């Protein structure tokens, strides 16, 4: 079931699915309103004279005009979208194109214009003006007019949205919002019942209880996108297995590499191994559904590109650092999933490659630090970010991770800063984390 949910979420994220859905709805509406027109008659008296067309020629003229305008505007919308994608790719990186493609308003706009075009064609085909029979779908034509008016407003909204969406601050804010929503879903992400973090686990003894040891190989090359956690625990409990995983979602797998190791009481047939391999989804790109670091890397990519000599935009990098500060402060308050996962009977079934706070901190700040050597403003803001995060972290291992990064930032600055005042400014700030010996 969870694999189906993953596939459904990926399908909803494609650029074509929602427009196709809107087109199908438009086709259904066209058929429904034509059927309604065939069953009822409209009175062209009073206000009806201004709402409904009076002849087949008038209906054809209106529908032809609307359909031609809609397909023309659809081409314009598509061109504007491509220009926006090109600008976003050059400014923020090609991996962020997916974010613009997944934008729901862009999909609605493209789908609406093509859907209106299809609606007009279907209704136009039903108009009859022969000697024996006359059929003018007046209500259907009225709906086409209303759709055309709505699409004009939608075009104005779309142009405003595109102009806003390619601004650096808005891009960073959107990614930060997506990251926050993703983290609330993933933490805690449990596979079976979590163990108590303070509980000691003898992994060697757990492995020694099983007679058979067999590697679990990747069935294809690509990024590990999803692990069907519940099904994996169920298979392990059903066959009395212990599974130790060496990779987690977001890691790249090469065909034939060992994803992990399966420990069993007796020899496993190929069918059992295939069942376990089916619990892993491998694809060509990384996704955010179980990969907590993916969106962080998108933010880091914007910052790194902003720090490159060809762009030299420290303000964008500082905005990325500020948003990552918020993320790491939030993560300091959540409970990270344990690497030890149990079935319903309390038996250890999976030893996972779990995320850690230090690992997330590394993903957020390592590359920015490495590329900010020639930008004192960014480096100083990076130290200020660590000072803020240090106020939120409570656990000793989290404190050590923050101090480690503060020390690395300070060491990098001492080697790359040319202005003594900048170094002294950074050293004064570092004392809030590292103490007087910084």
Question: Which of 312, 329, 417, 414 shows the shortest CA–CA distance to 365?
Answer: 329
Model confidence at 195: pLDDT above 50: no
* 68 vs 6: which has the higher pLDDT: 68
Based on the fold, state whether residues 61 and 156 are members of the same structural domain: yes
The whole-angstrom separation of Cα 132 and Cα 358 is: 81
CB 126 within 8 A of CB 98: no
Residues 271 and 302 in one domain: no
Please indicate, yes or no, if residue 300 is contained in any of the structural domains.
yes
Report how far apart, in Å, the C-alpha atoms of 110 and of each of 17, 106, 122, 195 are: 11, 6, 19, 49
Residue 388 lies in a domain: yes
- Assess whether 150 and 206 both reside in one domain: no
Q: Please say which residue of 131, 166, 201 terminates a domain.
A: 166
**Assigned domain for 289 exists:** no
Interval 56-77 mean pLDDT: 90
128 or 405, higher pLDDT: 405
CA–CA distance, 432 with 301 (Å, rounded to integer): 29
The CATH number of whichever domain residue 201 belongs to comes to 3.90.1170.30
Report the chain's mean pLDDT, rounded to a whole number: 85
* Average pLDDT over every residue of 259-277: 88
Q: 202-205 — which CB contacts under 8 Å span 24+ positions?
A: 203/351
Span 337-341, average pLDDT: 84
Give the pLDDT of residue 317: 92
SS3 assignment, position 224: strand
Domain range for 377 is: 183-189+295-334+356-434
Higher pLDDT, 36 or 46: 36
For every residue of 246-274, DSSP letters joined together read S--TT-EE-TT-EEEEEEESSPPPHHHHH
Give percent of the chain with pLDDT exceeding 90: 34
Lowest mean pLDDT among 72-86, 148-162, 308-322: 72-86
- pLDDT(87) > 80: no
Q: Does 92 share its domain with 151?
A: yes
* Among the ranges given (23-32, 34-43, 266-275), the one the predictor scored with the smallest mean pLDDT: 34-43
Q: Are residues 202 and 113 in the same domain?
A: no
Paired tokens of 388: 């803020």
Cβ atoms 297, 363 nearer than 8 A: yes
Q: Are residues 221 and 133 in the same domain?
A: no
Determine the straight-line distance between the first and last CA of the chain, rounded to whole angstroms: 53
Determine, yes or no, domain membership for 288. no
- State whether 210 and 246 are in the same domain: yes
Quote the pLDDT of residue 408: 94
Predicted confidence (pLDDT) per residue in 235-245, tens digit: 888 888 899 99
Number of domains in the chain: 3
H-run or E-run covering 283 = strand 280-283
pLDDT at residue 267, as a whole number: 86
pLDDT of 26 > 70? The answer is: yes
Give the confidence band of 2 by pLDDT, cuts at 50, 70, 90: low
Residue 178 domain-assigned? no
Q: Are residues 235 and 140 in the same domain?
A: no
Both tokens of residue 383?
């130290």
Confidence of residue 190 (pLDDT cuts 50, 70, 90): very low
Are 59 and 145 part of one and the same domain?
yes
| More confident: 258 or 197 | 258
- Residue at 290 is within a domain: no
Same domain, 67 and 148: yes
> Per the domain annotation, does 427 fall within a domain?
yes
Check: CB of residue 18 under 8 Å from CB of residue 12: yes
Report residue 200's pLDDT band, with 50, 70 and 90 as the boundaries: low
Sort strands 242-245 and 348-351 into parallel, antiparallel or unpaired.
parallel
158 and 22 within one domain:
yes
Residue 29 confidence class, pLDDT cut points 50, 70, 90: very high
Q: Are residues 53 and 142 in the same domain?
A: yes
> For residue 243, how many C-alpha atoms fall within 13 Å in the half-sphere facing its CB?
34
The angle subtended at Cα 388 by Cα 387 and Cα 393, nearest 5°, is: 95
Encoding tokens for residue 100?
């613009």
**Rounded CA gap, 206 and 244, in Å?**
11
Both structure tokens of 210: 């099983």
**pTM of this structure:** 0.78
Read off the tokens for 397. 């291992």
* 176 falls within a domain: no
Name which of 1-5, 61-65, 75-79, 265-269 the model is least confident about. 1-5
Q: Give phi and psi for 171, each to the nearest 5.
A: -60, -45
Q: What SS3 state is found at 340?
A: strand
Is omega for the bond preceding 188 within 30 degrees of 0, making it cis? Answer: yes
């Amino acid at each position: 079931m969870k694999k189906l949910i993953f596939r459904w979420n990926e399908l909803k994220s494609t650029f074509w699915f929602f427009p196709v859905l809107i087109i199908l709805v438009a086709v259904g509406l066209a058929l429904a309103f034509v059927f309604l027109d065939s069953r009822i008659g409209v009175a062209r008296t009073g206000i009806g004279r201004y709402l409904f067309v009076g002849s087949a020629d008038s209906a054809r003229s209106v529908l032809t005009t609307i359909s031609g305008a809609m397909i023309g505007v659809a081409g314009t919308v598509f061109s504007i979208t491509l220009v926006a994608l090109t600008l976003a790719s050059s400014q923020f990186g090609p991996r962020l194109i997916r974010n613009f493609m997944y934008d729901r308003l862009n999909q609605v706009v493209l789908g609406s214009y093509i859907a209106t075009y299809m609606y007009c064609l279907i209704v136009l085909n039903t108009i009859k003006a022969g000697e024996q029979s006359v059929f003018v779908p007046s209500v259907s034509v009225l709906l086409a007019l209303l759709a055309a008016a709505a699409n004009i407003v939608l075009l104005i909204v779309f142009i405003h949205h595109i102009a806003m969406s390619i601004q650096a601050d808005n891009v960073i804010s959107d990614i930060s919002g997506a990251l926050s929503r993703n983290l609330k879903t993933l933490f805690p992400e449990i596979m079976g019942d979590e163990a108590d973090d303070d509980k000691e686990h003898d992994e060697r003894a757990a492995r020694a209880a099983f007679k058979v040891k067999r590697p679990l190989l990747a069935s294809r090359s690509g990024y590990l996108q999803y692990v069907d956690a519940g099904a994996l625990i169920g298979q392990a409990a059903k066959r009395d297995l212990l599974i130790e995983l060496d990779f987690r979602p977001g890691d790249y797998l090469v065909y034939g590499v060992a994803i992990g190791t399966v420990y069993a009481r007796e020899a496993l047939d190929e069918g059992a191994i295939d069942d376990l391999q089916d619990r892993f989804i491998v694809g060509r790109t990384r996704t955010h559904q179980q990969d907590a670091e993916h969106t962080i890397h998108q933010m880091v990519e914007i910052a790194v590109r902003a720090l490159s000599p060809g762009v030299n935009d420290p303000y964008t990098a500082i905005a990325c650092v500020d948003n990552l500060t918020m993320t790491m402060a939030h993560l300091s308050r959540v409970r990270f999933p344990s690497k030890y996962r149990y079935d319903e009977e309390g038996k250890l079934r999976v030893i996972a490659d779990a995320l850690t706070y230090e690992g997330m901190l590394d993903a957020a700040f390592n590359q920015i630090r490495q590329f900010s050597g020639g930008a004192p403003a960014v480096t100083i803001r990076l130290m200020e970010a660590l000072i803020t995060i240090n106020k939120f972290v409570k656990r000793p291992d989290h404190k050590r991770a923050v101090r480690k990064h503060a020390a690395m930032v300070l060491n990098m600055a001492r080697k790359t800063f040319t202005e003594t005042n900048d170094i002294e400014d950074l050293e004064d700030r570092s004392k809030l984390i590292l103490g007087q010996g910084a």
